[in-house]
């Protein structure tokens, strides 16, 4: 199957920021996961943070979202201290939260990048 969905990644200090756009299928999610691993291999962080930003057009089925949640939880074994989701669209946020709750997982959701960085700064201060 053809991968669908795009991700752009960059480092902001020890925060891996990902900007997700388009409609993701499982193959597109796997491509995004491989890019994440490539970015992690390019640095020597023992611990790091992650911000996931959803474009207005970002979408995935509940099954793909469930796999994304599993991938994000695997990041903890790779040193990820916390993941913050930036979701401006209430519908997208509701879908993502409902799948997460159904899996028994809890993630932090905010509305913009500045709020996400502030959440991570607070987490750093508490450690």
pLDDT (tens digit per residue) in 85-108: 999 888 787 877 776 666 666 788
107-120 pLDDT, tens digit each = 889 999 999 999 99
Structure confidence at residue 73 as a pLDDT band (50, 70, 90): confident
2-53 pLDDT, tens digit each = 999 999 999 999 999 999 999 999 999 999 999 999 999 999 899 999 999 9
**Which residues make Cβ contacts (< 8 Å) with residue 101, sequence separation at least 6?**
none
| Fold of the CATH domain 6-126 | Transcription Regulator spoIIAA (3.30.750)
Select from 20, 4, 13, 8 the least CA-distant residue to 86. Answer: 20
pTM for the structure as a whole: 0.90
The region, left, alpha or beta by phi > 0 then psi within -120 to 50, assigned to residue 5 is left
């Amino acid at each position: 199957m053809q991968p669908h969905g795009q991700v752009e990644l960059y480092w902001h200090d020890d925060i891996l920021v990902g900007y997700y756009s388009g409609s993701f299928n499982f193959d597109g999610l796997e491509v995004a996961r491989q890019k994440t691993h490539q970015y992690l291999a390019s640095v020597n962080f023992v611990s790091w943070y992650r911000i996931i930003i959803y474009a207005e057009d970002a979408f995935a089925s509940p099954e793909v979202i469930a796999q994304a949640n599993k991938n994000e939880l695997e990041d903890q074994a790779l040193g990820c201290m916390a993941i913050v989701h930036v979701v401006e669209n209430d519908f997208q946020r509701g879908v993502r939260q409902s799948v997460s709750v159904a899996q028994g997982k809890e993630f932090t959701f905010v509305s913009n990048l500045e709020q996400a960085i502030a959440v991570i700064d607070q987490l750093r201060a508490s450690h």
